[in-house]
Structure 1
Amino acid sequence: MSRHGRVLVAMSGGVDSSVAAVLLREQGYEVVGITMKTWDYTGSGGRTGKEVGCCTLESMNDARAVALKHDFTHFIVDIREEFGDWVIERFTEEYLAGRTPNPCVLCNTHIKWAALLRRADALGCDYIATGHYARLRRDEATGRYVLMKGLDPNKDQSYALWGVAQAHLARTIFPLGTYEKPEIRRMAADFGLLRVADKPDSYEICFVPDNDYRRFLRDRVPGLGERVAGGPFVLQDGTVVGRHEGYPFYTIGQRHGLNLALGYPVYVTHIDPATNTITVGPREELLQQRLTARGLNLIKYDRLHEERPAVGKIRYKDEGAPCLVRQTGDDELEVHFAEARRAITPGQALVLYEGEDVLGGGWIHTVGEAATVRDT
């Protein structure tokens, strides 16, 4: 019997999840490793010549080798059907709706945690664990589990975890949250994990290995390119200034690839899927202060009963900015930033912070006109 219980560790075959598994074993947990096959090249295309990511045979073998070396059980499970239904379909639907999706958050919220917990229950595991750089604590006053930023600001992954439900956080362990990435690589070497210690981090969308989502959409939706090509590029006043390749192939804030010669730089400022119209304009037309978010998951509190200050992040690499947040309904937040933000994008996640704690988040639904600056 282990000192701390039995834990199911999601292992991608990379350095982070490998070290997470061995760390937990060193701490006295009974570790069971699991690698989830979420997709394959046959279905997604975009072969790059070298298979990289968490679903390749090489990665699965690397995860299994770690388990064998450190004497714990390892399973491989096929969740391609679950992953496709939730993540890939929604990824496609969001672009077709004129929004820019974040598949990693969808995966964490609807697939990774739910799928892990189902397998954990089947295997008699008390907890699940991942190699994410985030921390977790229980607030004794409220009884809620509070997600916190990872200690390493360069690797903090709390933004991608805002959608994980309280019941799932209650059974989650983040072994790497208090470490910095260079320490993890040194630990990997110390643990004898030489096959993964120097593995590069993967940043592409896992099911789009060539990082070309436009190619992926064309492959996924037969005839899409022909159906949407030729729509108008317009200025804010409606003046037509050119023709585009189709609204799903553009994102808010995009400058390159527009092929417009207007004598000054222009950016995509609005996408209208109903009319296949893309509005472009100068950089200042990307600046907005107000948004609404839906599809909420509140973490630190069960509800935001009054307007409160926070720091809001509007994309993964965003440093965050001061704002006031007000819950306007059971599933809607209104956010006013103290200063205008660039390229707030429907479909991306808004994540709200109170110091190191994640208040919660939601999907950016609408972006308002530039609002009056409010005191934060």
Structure 2
Amino acid sequence: MKVILVLVSLLSGIQGFLTDTSGGQREHYAMYVWRTGFDPNVPGCDQTDFLEWDSKHSHCFTHTWDSPERRQWLWATCNVPGREISRIFLADVHHKLKSGFQTNNCNMNDIALLKTTLTEGHTKVTNLKIFALFAASDPEVSERHMVPYVVWYNDNCADTTQEKFDGVAVNNEAYAAIKCSSDLSQRTTHLDRLQEIHDGAQRQRHGKLLTHFSISWHWGRCNGQSQPFLWRGKSLDATHHMIDIFDSIDVQVGYTTFPQISTRMSQAGMDYASLQHKDIYVTFYTDKTEPCQITFFPQVCQWTGRSESNLFAIIDQFPSNGLGHVEPCIHYFRGVYSSGGHPDWPAHS
């Protein structure tokens, strides 16, 4: 019996169960982690700089995960009790992976940094999945050429499962320009290129590399109506085709209140994703952007409730608004979520 208990304890430590800060069931939020975020620890960067949030204040933005202190800030944010994050989309990995891939060198400093970051995340946050985030956002869907970098790294450089990326996430906005194109080949070619992302991930030799894609709720619609078209034997609108391609999807609903959130999730294919057993997320913006109804940023606006507490209140209304099987996705870490740049947006560090 003692031997069994020791083994269970060791396995729990390896899998990160000892970091369960919620005292019970953890949430499963997702979160974007872009390269930089607002940092009130920079001398002179106060609430005024935060609210202006523009290029004049770029010195107030620092890398989100390049030091032990900043990574601890990230892991603490993932472990906020009752608001736990189980999936992050991690930016600024493209060139680090590309350099190693092109020289077939696993001993570079950038690769060592990735190993450290991935190991920390997997050990300090229970069951965390870390996705390499690519965002070329061009019509060529250049992200499909970046997937081999992750496959190479996982198969050649990662010495343990904890050092591996769990998936590849893509944020490509180019489809918006062709969603109503009368030239159907533009749309089907775009889908073919997206399919290459998923197919490329399957070339990993050891373990499964997941794929994730971010869509706008209206990409399958023209003039307010669903626009199905035939692609690879199925007649569906674009967002439904995209759900078929990827393992998971997050939907940019472009709204912060109900019933619009529910309506747009439905139009994007929420129920279809559930039938296909695909994870689907509602993406909420917290950074400063326009129009004001799409973000929780505390800017001058006719809309009230621009705070972290209001964001959480909306998330807590998911079950009563038909989103009980959907998870939230926060866009993004320290932008402004967990930044500490404003009393309504505390740092979870």
TM-score, L = length of structure 1: 0.22
Which of the two has higher C-alpha Rg? Answer: 1
Q: Normalized per residue, which structure has more strand?
A: 1
